[in-house]
Amino acid sequence: MHAQELLHKMTLEEKAAFCSGRDFWHTKAIERLGIPSVMMCDGPHGLRKQEGEGDHLGINVSIETVCYPSASALASSFDRTVMTRLGEALGYECQAENVAMLLGPGLNIKRSPLCGRNFEYFSEDPYLSGQMGAAYVKALQSKGIAACAKHFACNNQETRRMSGSSQVDERTLHEIYLPAFEAVVKDGKTRSIMCAYNAVNDTYCAENKMLLTDILRELWGFDGFVVTDWGAVKDRAGGVASGLDLEMPGNPDALGEEIIKAIQDGTLSEEALDKAVLNLLNFVLSSWEQRKPDTKIDREACRQLARKLSGECAVLMKNENILPLNTEESVTFIGEFAETPRYQGAGSSHINVPHSVSALEAAEGRSVLYARGYDAHSKQTDPHLLSEAVNAAKKVDAAVIFAGLPDAFESEGADREHLRLPDNQNELIAAVAAVNPRTVVVLHGGAPVELPWLDQVPALLCMYLGGEQVGSAAVDLLYGSVNPSGHLAETWPLRLEDNPSYLNFPGEDGIVTYAEGIYVGYRYYDKKKIAVNFPFGHGLSYTEFSYSNLRIDKDKITDQESVTVHVDVTNVGRITGKAVAQLYVRDVKSTVRRPVRELRAFDKISLQPGETKTLHFTLDKRSFAYYEPKVHDFFVESGEFVIEIGKNCRDICLSQSVTVEGTTQIPFTVTRTSTIGQLMKHPKGASFIQKMTGSSKGPSDEEQAAAMGEGSEKIMQSMMFEMPLGALVSYGRMTAPQLDALIASLNEQPNDTLSEADKQQ
């Protein structure tokens, strides 16, 4: 039976009840009509299926399964195929476990490195986040499992996440915080969106019509269903009216009384309820039809995939001719994380893993000693452990320290207070580096940390939270059986105070103002020319790559056309490796605030020594546009743009210009506060100003300039251009009725527009 037919047969009570969950993880069944119940589970990087009592913080037991790298690691791969392989693997596992929907990916932008849940999010860059998310969604859904992109929108901190309000302007919202969701809707075709706990501009996301209907459905064409974050509903009927479909979790007593009452008293239309029910029915019936209960899972293959993906995601941040290690040299692994690795975050994404592989276990058979070095559950230095580690480091050719953030430092439900590693780890690294010049640091964690000892160590390898096989992957990378190819999906600042959100995170009294606007991450650091530890896009390899022969198929286009970019990449080193080509676009001259450059395309390719491959990128209107609130859309300002190929956002190898002509005009309404300068750009206004100044009986501009001194002519012109039209009356150049008549005449012209050069005047 089709969803529409079932809808017509449902009673008002059944429809209202259907829009809440049966329990923590299931939709309600309506046995009378044969409508089944389906299950959804947490699991952006593994399946957290709870067969007993459910919770959303990873407290209660879930089934044993494989834990893959977290989103912060996955994004560092800069590889869509990594997301595809992960999505497919999780899709098969969901089929085997009779799970209809996986709650992920997390697409919130990393506004601040302090956000406790950053390990679940991809990047500070909206384009990279959207590309990785869309690849994951398409792969997962290709196996018949619905994806649920979250948390829509501006859920960028854990402090007051259930009750706070993110105050963000229209341009920033559309340029920074919404594009990743737009990508998974338009490109990924996600079947579900999870609305966030928080409010955006004082309206909670679960009942935010602007987000759930105006943008999501009408602007982007979303045809799936919207589910709340668990317990996010504040106004049940208001949510349905605004575009919310399913409230989670539910219980047998959640029969939709609020919805029924609202329909009966006329504050909610039954038509709005029917839309929600139909959206949910389409999901339930489609999921039921796509079940494959006989699916079998090869756990060993999954573990090997986890190992491979972890190796693809790791970022070699520094290497002064020490890595890869020689298998014949003596090495000491130092640090508790070498024996008990931190490979996942805490909270709703926590996976129940039967066995994780440590670096110490993976290095069995090699000439490797071990010293614990620190207690991961303490910040205090243990003199005995420190002394043992230093003595061990003195006796070997190389010391490898496994360090990073403990669980207590970053977790869902709480934000970090600083960017420091525990004091005992920083002291250990400095002490070991002082006695062994060949010291390597391997970092575990979901977000950037301060690196006070960076100049003392010759090599730094970041594993992020690399999944249950992170130990094997780390050894693969350290000894060169895998060549590092990850690149940072976020800036690593020198210190917390340099972050653009520093003064406005986490806000006050539940209100957080996004005062930095569009300047998030590298957009801010580059604009301010602030030194960082490592820039966005940075990543080293055991080989070298060169970029050459940049060419574009057109040197001039309109914003209705696209341009194709070609660039050659060559492996000029001695071993096979993977290069990540990053394409940035820079607006040469803009009349609005714009970043220095923005990531607009990327690709990752494998190259053998001496091999050259040509990469191809297509850039369209959005590649050159910014969001213009005056037209409530993305807008291209005519002019010159530079297409740049870089190894990171601060290492640009090649560049070439293209001229783009904007075809959209910005409406301009003349008022008394409009300036003379703006009027000069108006065809009719320019004529009037020329006549007015020509008929003036006062001293000429040259005479006034001579009287006021050298350079005053330019100052006078600037002052005149900034003068509001109302001042013409004040200075007796025209009467008030004459000015009103002029303004009315100018505004009568339907095609008159504000030229791009005057939008900010």
Q: Which of 3.40.50.620, 3.40.50.920, 3.40.50.1700, 3.20.20.70 is the CATH number of 299-534?
A: 3.40.50.1700
Neighbouring-strand partners of residue 137: none
| Model confidence pLDDT, tens digit, residues 82-99 | 999 999 999 999 999 999
* Average pLDDT over every residue of 713-725: 79
The pLDDT value recorded for residue 411 is 87
Check residue 447 and give left, alpha or beta (phi > 0: left; psi -120 to 50: alpha): beta
> Residue 731: what pLDDT?
82
Q: pLDDT category, 43, cuts 50, 70, 90?
A: confident
Out of 12-26, 129-143, 708-722, pick the least confident. Answer: 708-722
Which CA distances in Å does 105 have to 8, 151, 396? 34, 9, 43
229 is catalytic: yes
How far from chain centre, in Å, is Cα 296?
Answer: 34
pLDDT at residue 439 in the model: 99
- Residue 746, both tokens: 């100018």
| H or E element that contains 613 | strand 612-619
pLDDT in the model for residue 394: 98
Q: What is the pLDDT of residues 649-677, one digit of tens each?
A: 999 999 999 999 999 988 878 898 988 88
pLDDT at 758 over 50: no
- Which of the two residues, 453 and 713, has the higher pLDDT score? 453
Which pLDDT band, with edges at 50, 70 and 90, does 719 fall under?
A: confident
Q: What residues pair up with 464 in beta bridges, in sequence order? A: 444
720 vs 453, residue with greater confidence: 453
Contact indicator for 536, 124 with CB cutoff of 8 Å = yes
Residues of the chain with CATH 2.60.40.10: 545-661
> What does R_g of the chain's alpha carbons equal in angstroms?
29
Query: Could you tell me which of 756, 679, 688, 676 has the C-alpha nearest to residue 718?
Result: 676
User: What is the pLDDT averaged over residues 199-224?
Assistant: 98
In CATH, 3-289 is 3.20.20.300: yes
- pLDDT tens digits, 620-643: 999 999 999 999 999 999 999 999
- Which DSSP string corresponds to 280-344? HHHHHHHHHHT--TT----HHHHHHHHHHHHHHH-EEEEESS-PSPPTTS-EEEESHHHHS---S
Contact (Cβ atoms closer than 8 angstroms) between residue 119 and residue 71: yes
Give how far Cα 637 sits from Cα of 70, 190, 586, 625, 664, Å: 38, 32, 12, 7, 9
Residue pair 440/459 in contact (Cβ under 8 Å)? The answer is yes
pLDDT, residue 751, reads 47
- From 42, 125, 229, 758, active-site residue: 229
Q: Where in the chain is the domain with CATH 3.20.20.300?
A: 3-289
Q: What distance in Å separates the CA atoms of residue 612 and residue 600, rounded to the nearest whole number?
A: 23
pLDDT by residue (tens digit) across 555-582? 999 999 999 999 999 999 999 999 999 9
Contacts of 496 (CB under 8 A, 6+ apart): 113, 114, 418, 419, 450, 502
The token pair at 617 is 């990128």
Note the pLDDT of residue 250: 83
Express each pLDDT in 484-510 by its tens digit.
Answer: 999 999 999 999 999 999 999 999 999
Phi, psi of 552 (to 5 degrees): -125, 150
Ramachandran bin of 146, using left for φ above 0, alpha for ψ from -120 to 50, beta for the remaining angles: beta
Q: How far is CA 696 from the centre of its chain?
A: 58
Choose among 1, 84, 96, 505: nearest CA to 293.
96
Residue 558's alpha-carbon distances to 17, 37, 180, 658, in angstroms, are 52, 51, 25, 10
* Best CA proximity match to 470, nearest among 312, 310, 675, 598: 310
56 has pLDDT over 60: no
pLDDT score at 760: 39
pLDDT at 752: 46
Q: Residues of the chain with pLDDT > 70: what percent? A: 92
Using the predicted structure, report yes or no on whether residue 534 has a pLDDT greater than 60. yes
Mean pLDDT score across all residues of the chain: 93
Q: Which of 234-248, 711-725, 726-740 has the highest mean pLDDT?
A: 234-248
* CATH class for the domain made up of 545-661: mainly beta
Token look-up 């941040």 returns 317
What are the residue ranges of CATH 3.40.50.1700 in the chain?
Answer: 299-534
